[in-house]
Structure 1
Amino acid sequence: CRLKEYRKPIDNNFGPTVLRGNESEHRTEKPIVRDRAEEPANSVYTVERQIRLMLDRMRGVYLRDWSLGVLLMGLTILLPPALPAPQPAHKDTEPRYRRVCYYTNWSQYRKNGARFLPANIDPFLCTHLVFAFAKVDQRGQLAPYEWNDIQYPYIYRQFTSLKKKNPALKTLLAVGGWTHGSGPFTEMVRYKKGRQAFLDHALQYLRTHNFDGLDLDWEYPANRGSPPEDKDNFSKLLKELREGFEQEASRTGKPRLLLTAAVAGGEKIIRTAYDVPKLNKYLDFINLMSYDLHGSWSSYLGHNAPLYGGDYNTDEPTLTHSVVRYLFLKVFALL
């Protein structure tokens, strides 16, 4: 069924409002363009147009052009290829769109039919699989969370072995998570020596366990007990990791490890935690946390991951607000 159209403008401080206007102009003048190769070579996709097309697509409205789709399933967002991005690690096999899926290592403890293991994953469903989570230990290095991640039955190995069934699949290791907290990250990023030690060990750890990249899930820099300077220190970490990954690939001839991050969707944390242009500069893509926008802390009932706001409260957090804010802050990709 089609979602009810929501025409109220979104007020923001990052640029012109993008939801105003009569949406009938986007309807069925011609079919949706399914392949960007069919589009004219001189097509120009401004930030505003990207957002308009994306929002209309999510409403189920027929468009003149197709640019971007979003899957509202956990942390899944698709990369808009019209926006500039760093060169991919595998130019010949990099997919046109990324469908990123997270696997949680605690799902093995669910009861009966809810139990979920790497063997239950369809290796052709997603282009990128992210294993959640590893942790930063007391030495400031990557370490497994669960007892069987690197011991029998070797959950890491089960996870990365899915690439035997689908050689185009990329597997990444996520470090952090909500319960991990900021403390270990804060200590690790405080000095260059700590960041370098983390990089050196991460290169070894990711290669040893056959991962194709690292996903940083620090929740959140300069928040939840993390000092304000961690915003800048997080950017330094991204820069040094990206440079280290590139140098290792050049030195060894191996494909470069991917570098991504799971980032918050709330306005306050966006402003205080991230130097967004530097996310653009150093990350291959970002994973927008499109959930927990309402919860027990809210003063009114709201959806866990609302696409649009209700008329009763136009200031409530929504996924479209988060997308607009990131795009107007010049981030290149959303997942």
Structure 2
Amino acid sequence: MHGVLLTTGLCLLLATTASSTRMVCVYDRVASTRPSVGQFTPAMIDPTLCTHIIFSSANIETQEVVPFDSNDMTLYAQLNSLKNRNPQLKTLLSVGGPGFNNQMFSVAVSSSNNRNRFITSAKALIKDNGFDGINLDWRHPGDADSQPMDPTRFLSLCQELRAEFDKEVPALLVSASVSAVRATIDSSYPDPSALASAMDFINVLTFNFHDPSESNTAHHSPLGALSSNPSDTRTTARTVLKMFNLYCFHSYIYSFVMHL
């Protein structure tokens, strides 16, 4: 038996608080380059399905946030034109993502001047293209290829973004996509509560707690411990979310193929 990850144009996150409910959808720019019927553009999104849509993603060059290529400008326009059909829709531009070069983030946060350059460029790109905010998708600030101070500097970037974006009326949004792996949390986010305080919301990537490498079938994004292992509270969404003082889940869709 093996798992097949199904990727459509959207990945869904549901985050609930005492005062609001969010359905946050993530659009991957690569979906627009798929051949034939696999192509999926922002114009094809039903804007009533989501309260927030994150465009994944922008790049970093010389400490500045920039589009990956010129075609992205067309995709930006398509995405933000969805607000004509749903004026309540909010859009965010993501920076980073899976496989993104850690060194680009590392250099961008390495000094106050570099962080200011990042923030100034991000703010201009967001406002010029009609986005409502930014999503930081630096999954592993504490990885082996990062600098020792990167986790602390990442928190500084988030706090400085918050301060700068709050100057706008209305304030621009700040969110982040963070790992749900306990070892990564411990090495990358020295103060999860402080990180959460700088954000409008956090996307905790609570998936792949269990995968096809295991001999037993288990939900890859369990809210609580499995009945077969009730003492395991580390690999559950509920435990991870409490570390960030959040209540949310972010998951992908899996199907399974049985080989007899």
Q: TM-score, normalised by structure 2?
A: 0.83
- The structure carrying a bigger strand percent of its residues is 2
* 1:206 aligned onto 2:131: no
Bigger Cα displacement from structure 2, 183-192 vs 73-82? 73-82
Please provide the CA RMSD for this pair.
2.3
* Equivalent residue number for residue 143 of structure 1: 66
**Measured at CA, do residues 317 and 295 of structure 1 come closer, stay the same or move farther in structure 2, by a change above 3 Å?**
farther
* Equivalent residue number for residue 102 of structure 1: 26
Q: Structure 1: how far apart are the matches of 2:12 and 2:140?
A: 16
Q: Structure 1: how far apart are the matches of 2:12 and 2:233?
A: 20
Stretches of structure 2 that go unaligned for 5 or more consecutive residues are 1-9, 250-260
SS in 1 for 2:135: strand
Q: How does 1:250-265 map to 2 (within 5 A)?
A: 254-265=169-180
Q: What are the Cα deviations for residues 248-306 of structure 1, in whole angstroms up to 9, with x where unaligned?
A: x1xxxx3111000001111111111112111221100001112233457x564655733
1:324 to 207, 220, 239: 239
1:81 to 18, 23, 26: 18
Return the letter of the residue paired with 1:265: A
Q: Structure 2: how far apart are the matches of 1:201 and 1:165?
A: 29
* Equivalent residue number for residue 4 of structure 2: none
Percent same amino acid at aligned positions?
A: 32
Q: Structure 1: how far apart are the matches of 2:144 and 2:241?
A: 21
Q: Structure 2: how far apart are the matches of 1:195 and 1:300?
A: 46
1:113 to 9, 24, 37: 37
* Equivalent residue number for residue 186 of structure 1: 106
* 1:282 aligned onto 2:202: no
SS in 2 for 1:149: helix
**Measured at CA, do residues 301 and 176 of structure 1 come closer, stay the same or move farther in structure 2, by a change above 3 Å?**
farther
SS in 2 for 1:278: helix
Q: How does 1:1-335 map to 2 (within 5 A)?
A: 74-81=11-18, 96-137=20-61, 139-150=62-73, 154-247=74-167, 249=168, 254-274=169-189, 275-295=191-211, 298=213, 300=215, 305-307=220-222, 308-311=224-227, 315=232, 318=235, 321-327=236-242, 329-332=243-246, 334=248
SS in 1 for 2:143: coil
Q: Structure 1: how far apart are the matches of 2:178 and 2:194?
A: 13
Kindly state the Cα deviation for residue 234 of structure 1 after the two structures are TM-superposed. 0.8
How many residues matched?
237
Return the letter of the residue paired with 2:194: K
Q: Is the 8 A contact 2:97 2:138 kept in 1?
A: yes
Stretches of structure 1 that go unaligned for 5 or more consecutive residues are 1-72, 83-95
Q: Structure 2: how far apart are the matches of 1:142 and 1:281?
A: 23
Q: Is the 8 A contact 2:234 2:240 kept in 1?
A: no
Q: What are the Cα deviations for residues 142-201 of structure 1, in whole angstroms up to 9, with x where unaligned?
A: 111244102xxx111101111111111000001101121311000110111100111111
Return the letter of the residue paired with 2:102: S
Q: Which has the larger radius of gyration?
A: 1
Q: Is the 8 A contact 1:286 1:333 kept in 2?
A: no
Return the letter of the residue paired with 1:123: P
Q: Is the 8 A contact 1:188 1:198 kept in 2?
A: yes
